[in-house]
Amino acid sequence: MLPTENKQDIKNWDIQLISNSIEQAFETHEKSSLALLQKKAELDKVSSFQKSLNLIRYLYVAIDCSSYMKSLDYKPNRFLSTLNSLRAFIPSFFDKNPLSLLALGVMFEGFSKQITEFSQNANLHLEALKDLKIYEDKEISIQNALEVFVF
Protein backbone atom coordinates (compact mmCIF):
# COMPACT_ATOMS: atom_id res chain seq x y z
CA MET A 1 0.00 0.00 0.00
CA LEU A 2 1.04 3.53 -0.76
CA PRO A 3 1.14 6.06 1.97
CA THR A 4 -1.68 8.62 1.90
CA GLU A 5 0.65 11.39 0.78
CA ASN A 6 1.53 9.41 -2.32
CA LYS A 7 -2.16 8.72 -3.02
CA GLN A 8 -2.84 12.46 -2.68
CA ASP A 9 0.09 13.23 -5.03
CA ILE A 10 -1.25 10.75 -7.58
CA LYS A 11 -4.73 12.30 -7.38
CA ASN A 12 -3.26 15.79 -7.81
CA TRP A 13 -1.21 14.55 -10.79
CA ASP A 14 -4.31 12.98 -12.38
CA ILE A 15 -6.30 16.16 -11.83
CA GLN A 16 -3.50 18.20 -13.37
CA LEU A 17 -3.33 15.88 -16.40
CA ILE A 18 -7.09 16.07 -16.85
CA SER A 19 -7.14 19.86 -16.55
CA ASN A 20 -4.25 20.15 -19.03
CA SER A 21 -6.02 17.93 -21.54
CA ILE A 22 -9.24 19.95 -21.11
CA GLU A 23 -7.30 23.20 -21.69
CA GLN A 24 -5.71 21.72 -24.82
CA ALA A 25 -9.11 20.62 -26.07
CA PHE A 26 -10.50 24.14 -25.56
CA GLU A 27 -7.49 25.68 -27.33
CA THR A 28 -7.89 23.29 -30.26
CA HIS A 29 -11.61 24.05 -30.42
CA GLU A 30 -10.95 27.82 -30.30
CA LYS A 31 -8.34 27.55 -33.07
CA SER A 32 -10.62 25.48 -35.29
CA SER A 33 -13.55 27.81 -34.60
CA LEU A 34 -11.39 30.82 -35.44
CA ALA A 35 -10.21 29.14 -38.65
CA LEU A 36 -13.82 28.39 -39.61
CA LEU A 37 -14.86 31.99 -38.93
CA GLN A 38 -11.95 33.27 -41.05
CA LYS A 39 -12.90 30.94 -43.91
CA LYS A 40 -16.52 32.06 -43.66
CA ALA A 41 -15.45 35.72 -43.73
CA GLU A 42 -13.32 35.08 -46.83
CA LEU A 43 -16.23 33.32 -48.54
CA ASP A 44 -18.53 36.22 -47.64
CA LYS A 45 -16.05 38.66 -49.18
CA VAL A 46 -15.85 36.59 -52.36
CA SER A 47 -19.61 36.18 -52.58
CA SER A 48 -20.21 39.91 -52.02
CA PHE A 49 -17.63 40.65 -54.72
CA GLN A 50 -19.37 38.21 -57.06
CA LYS A 51 -22.71 39.84 -56.25
CA SER A 52 -21.28 43.25 -57.17
CA LEU A 53 -19.99 41.80 -60.45
CA ASN A 54 -23.54 40.83 -61.37
CA LEU A 55 -24.85 44.39 -61.06
CA ILE A 56 -25.28 46.48 -64.17
CA ARG A 57 -24.20 50.05 -63.53
CA TYR A 58 -24.79 53.05 -65.75
CA LEU A 59 -22.27 55.83 -65.25
CA TYR A 60 -22.39 59.18 -67.01
CA VAL A 61 -19.25 61.32 -66.68
CA ALA A 62 -19.74 65.02 -67.38
CA ILE A 63 -16.47 66.84 -68.07
CA ASP A 64 -16.10 70.58 -67.49
CA CYS A 65 -14.54 72.20 -70.58
CA SER A 66 -14.85 75.81 -69.45
CA SER A 67 -11.96 78.22 -69.10
CA TYR A 68 -11.86 77.52 -65.35
CA MET A 69 -10.16 74.25 -66.24
CA LYS A 70 -7.06 76.24 -67.28
CA SER A 71 -6.36 76.92 -63.60
CA LEU A 72 -2.90 75.81 -62.49
CA ASP A 73 -3.81 74.48 -59.03
CA TYR A 74 -3.19 70.95 -60.42
CA LYS A 75 -0.12 70.34 -62.54
CA PRO A 76 -0.01 71.00 -65.50
CA ASN A 77 -3.61 72.31 -65.26
CA ARG A 78 -7.03 71.12 -64.13
CA PHE A 79 -8.13 70.01 -67.59
CA LEU A 80 -5.13 67.80 -68.34
CA SER A 81 -5.17 66.42 -64.81
CA THR A 82 -8.84 65.51 -65.23
CA LEU A 83 -8.16 63.81 -68.57
CA ASN A 84 -5.24 61.84 -67.11
CA SER A 85 -7.41 60.71 -64.20
CA LEU A 86 -10.15 59.63 -66.60
CA ARG A 87 -7.65 57.71 -68.74
CA ALA A 88 -6.69 55.73 -65.63
CA PHE A 89 -10.26 55.40 -64.33
CA ILE A 90 -12.02 54.10 -67.46
CA PRO A 91 -10.12 50.79 -67.85
CA SER A 92 -10.22 50.09 -64.11
CA PHE A 93 -13.98 50.81 -64.07
CA PHE A 94 -14.61 48.14 -66.69
CA ASP A 95 -12.26 45.69 -64.96
CA LYS A 96 -14.18 46.01 -61.72
CA ASN A 97 -17.64 46.31 -63.31
CA PRO A 98 -17.69 44.07 -66.39
CA LEU A 99 -21.44 44.42 -67.00
CA SER A 100 -21.53 48.19 -66.63
CA LEU A 101 -22.02 50.91 -69.22
CA LEU A 102 -20.28 54.27 -69.40
CA ALA A 103 -21.03 57.46 -71.33
CA LEU A 104 -19.08 60.71 -71.55
CA GLY A 105 -20.41 64.23 -71.90
CA VAL A 106 -18.92 67.71 -71.93
CA MET A 107 -20.16 70.96 -70.43
CA PHE A 108 -19.25 74.27 -72.10
CA GLU A 109 -20.74 77.72 -72.82
CA GLY A 110 -23.85 76.91 -70.79
CA PHE A 111 -24.54 73.86 -72.96
CA SER A 112 -23.91 70.17 -72.63
CA LYS A 113 -23.19 67.59 -75.27
CA GLN A 114 -22.89 63.82 -75.06
CA ILE A 115 -19.68 62.73 -76.79
CA THR A 116 -20.04 58.95 -76.36
CA GLU A 117 -23.11 56.77 -76.00
CA PHE A 118 -23.47 54.25 -73.19
CA SER A 119 -21.02 51.51 -74.06
CA GLN A 120 -18.72 48.88 -72.61
CA ASN A 121 -15.96 49.76 -75.07
CA ALA A 122 -13.19 51.44 -73.09
CA ASN A 123 -11.23 52.27 -76.24
CA LEU A 124 -14.16 54.27 -77.62
CA HIS A 125 -14.22 56.44 -74.52
CA LEU A 126 -10.44 56.85 -74.43
CA GLU A 127 -10.43 57.94 -78.10
CA ALA A 128 -13.16 60.50 -77.39
CA LEU A 129 -11.01 62.05 -74.64
CA LYS A 130 -8.29 62.85 -77.20
CA ASP A 131 -10.57 65.26 -79.10
CA LEU A 132 -11.59 67.42 -76.14
CA LYS A 133 -10.60 71.05 -75.90
CA ILE A 134 -11.15 73.93 -73.50
CA TYR A 135 -13.70 76.55 -74.53
CA GLU A 136 -13.14 80.22 -73.72
CA ASP A 137 -16.30 80.81 -71.73
CA LYS A 138 -16.63 80.72 -67.96
CA GLU A 139 -20.10 79.22 -67.67
CA ILE A 140 -21.13 75.62 -67.44
CA SER A 141 -24.54 74.17 -66.79
CA ILE A 142 -24.81 71.05 -64.69
CA GLN A 143 -28.58 71.18 -65.17
CA ASN A 144 -28.15 70.97 -68.94
CA ALA A 145 -25.74 68.05 -68.51
CA LEU A 146 -28.31 66.19 -66.43
CA GLU A 147 -31.04 66.93 -68.95
CA VAL A 148 -28.89 65.60 -71.81
CA PHE A 149 -28.16 62.48 -69.80
CA VAL A 150 -31.67 61.78 -68.52
CA PHE A 151 -33.62 62.65 -71.65
Averaged pLDDT for residues 40-45: 70
pLDDT band (50, 70, 90) for residue 121:
very high
pTM for the structure as a whole:
0.61
Per-residue pLDDT at 137 exceeds 80? no
CA dihedral 11→12→16→18, nearest 10 degrees, is 20
Domain 55-150, CATH number (from 3.10.20.70, 3.40.50.410, 3.90.76.10, 1.10.3720.10): 3.40.50.410
Averaged pLDDT for residues 97-126: 90
Per-residue pLDDT at 44 exceeds 80? no
Averaged pLDDT for residues 43-48: 60
Q: How far is CA 30 from CA 33, 43, 75, 124, 134, in A?
A: 5, 20, 54, 54, 63
Tell me: the pLDDT tens digits for 10-31? Answer: 566 666 666 666 666 666 766 6
Distance CA(92)–CA(66), nearest Å, equals: 27
- Beta carbons of 102 and 67 less than 8 angstroms apart: no
Distance CA(140)–CA(146), nearest Å, equals: 12
Q: Where are the domains of the chain?
A: 1-54, 55-150
- Beta carbons of 106 and 113 less than 8 angstroms apart: yes
**Closest by alpha carbon to 139, among 107, 100, 99?**
107
Per-residue pLDDT at 5 exceeds 60? no
**Residue type for position 147:** E
- Residue 47 is predicted with a pLDDT of 53
Asked, as a colleague might, if the bond just before 3 is cis with ω within 30 of 0, I would say no
The torsion angles phi and psi of 71, rounded to 5 degrees, stand at -55, 145
**Closest by alpha carbon to 144, among 98, 102, 112?**
112
Averaged pLDDT for residues 66-80: 85
pLDDT band (50, 70, 90) for residue 61:
very high
